[in-house]
């Protein structure tokens, strides 16, 4: 019995880190939090609707129709750069959402176990400036928020920051702007970038506006292979079947819907390995067209550690 419990624990631990290759580029996923339960951000994704989409099981929904979602970072390793995309929630942060308040996870240990010390990271990329994408930008040291990745350039979207800084009077924005963005700007590590910025030979930003005004996805291309990291223009694979299901966090729901449809068609037409920023394990796969909608065919990692 004890051995069984140990094996389950080991399995859970190993799934926290997984890698894929796109040509010569390696993408590694490091999970901060994964959970099963209501997904408030997509109001239509309730069990009685989800249960009618059996293809979501077992990875993205359970037998009862509960959605499974994840908060994770993706490290892109190219021959030139080591890039971390979206820095999750972070530790010690006071948040109004109880499940995200004052977290104490082992994210940085897991990052190191995946082979990356914080000083190995050259670039921090945030697909957009929301609380669950900027958290590990900073760590609390002697009651002060310090940059976690001291040798990195933090790339924030110009349009995204212009919009976000105007929201500071809203407490839900102020809480993460103050502890996860302002300290980085003050440290001088930020570079403001365009929505279509080229980051290095294999990695480029592409605008996917709608969830936020400066939202970007990340395009990876190497040796003829292609991949994309979605960001939050899509929260859960159920939105591939239900293209009209909006996210309550969308800045412009109509534009977000348009972006979603356009990108899903592009993903289905080209052989693009898609990494969903909140898709549960294994998180990656190919979008396939089916009748008037899309479904997701998961792609398991090459290595598990």
* Site size for Zn ion (CB under 5 A): 2
Inter-residue contact 236 to 34 (CB < 8 Å): no
| Complex with Zn ion: residue 122 or 132, whichever CB lies closer | 132
Q: Which of 77, 160, 232, 250 binds Zn ion (CB under 5 A)?
A: 232
Residue 241 has what DSSP assignment? H
DSSP state string for 142-208: TTEEEESSTT-EEEEEHHHHHHHHTTTTSHHHHHHIIIIIHHHHHHT-EEEE-TT-EEETTEEEEE-
Q: Which of 212, 276, 267 is nearest to 56 (CA)?
A: 276
Inter-residue contact 79 to 119 (CB < 8 Å): no
C-alpha distances out from residue 24 to 92, 108, 176, 220, 240, Å: 36, 25, 35, 10, 29
The interface mask with Zn ion, positions 245-284, x = CB under 5 A, is ----------------------------------------
Interacting span for Zn ion (CB under 5 A) from 7-15, 47-55, 89-97, 132-140: 132-140
Q: Which of 281, 273, 280 is nearest to 304 (CA)?
A: 281
Nearest approach, Cβ of 225 to Zn ion (angstroms)?
26
| Complex with Zn ion: residue 18 or 70, whichever CB lies closer | 70
Q: Which of 238, 240, 221, 228 is nearest to 277 (CA)?
A: 228
Site for Zn ion contains 132 (CB under 5 A): yes
| Complex with Zn ion: residue 232 or 250, whichever CB lies closer | 232
Nearest approach, Cβ of 130 to Zn ion (angstroms)?
5
Nearest approach, Cβ of 245 to Zn ion (angstroms)?
16
| Complex with Zn ion: residue 231 or 268, whichever CB lies closer | 231
Nearest approach, Cβ of 278 to Zn ion (angstroms)?
6
| Complex with Zn ion: residue 71 or 268, whichever CB lies closer | 71
| Complex with Zn ion: residue 132 or 241, whichever CB lies closer | 132
Site for Zn ion contains 32 (CB under 5 A): no
Nearest approach, Cβ of 132 to Zn ion (angstroms)?
4
Distance CA 210, CA 93 (A): 27
Site for Zn ion contains 160 (CB under 5 A): no
Inter-residue contact 295 to 248 (CB < 8 Å): no
Q: What are phi and psi of 218, to 5 degrees?
A: -115, 125
| Complex with Zn ion: residue 159 or 232, whichever CB lies closer | 232
Q: Which residues bind Zn ion (CB under 5 A)?
A: 132, 232
């Amino acid at each position: 019995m004890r051995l069984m419990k140990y094996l389950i624990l080991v399995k859970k631990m190993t799934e926290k880190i997984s890698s894929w290759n796109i040509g010569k580029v390696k993408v590694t996923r490091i999970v901060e939090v994964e959970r099963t339960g209501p997904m408030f951000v997509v109001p239509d994704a309730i069990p009685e609707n989800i249960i009618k989409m059996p293809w979501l099981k077992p990875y993205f929904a359970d037998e009862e129709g509960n959605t499974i979602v994840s908060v994770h970072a993706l490290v892109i390793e190219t021959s030139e750069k080591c890039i971390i995309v979206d820095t999750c929630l972070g530790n010690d942060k006071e948040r109004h959402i109880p499940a995200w308040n004052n977290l104490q996870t082992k994210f940085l240990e897991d990052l190191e176990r995946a082979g990356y010390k914080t000083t190995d990271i050259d670039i921090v990329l945030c697909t957009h400036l929301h609380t669950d994408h900027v958290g590990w930008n900073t760590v609390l040291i002697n009651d002060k928020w310090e940059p976690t990745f001291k040798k990195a350039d933090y790339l924030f979207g110009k349009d995204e920051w212009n919009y976000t800084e105007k929201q500071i009077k809203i407490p839900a924005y102020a809480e993460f702007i103050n502890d996860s963005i302002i300290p980085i700007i003050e440290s001088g590590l930020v570079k403001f970038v365009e929505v279509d910025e080229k980051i290095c030979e294999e990695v480029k930003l592409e605008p996917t506006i709608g969830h936020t005004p400066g939202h970007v996805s990340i395009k990876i291309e190497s040796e003829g292979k292609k991949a994309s990291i979605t960001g939050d223009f899509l929260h859960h694979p159920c939105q591939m079947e239900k293209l009209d299901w909006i996210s309550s966090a969308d800045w412009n729901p109509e534009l977000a819907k348009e972006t979603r449809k356009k990108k899903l068609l592009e993903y289905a037409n080209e052989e693009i390995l898609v990494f969903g920023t909140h898709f549960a394990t294994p998180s990656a796969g190919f979008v396939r067209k089916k009748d008037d909608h899309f479904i997701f065919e998961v792609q398991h990692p090459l290595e598990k550690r």
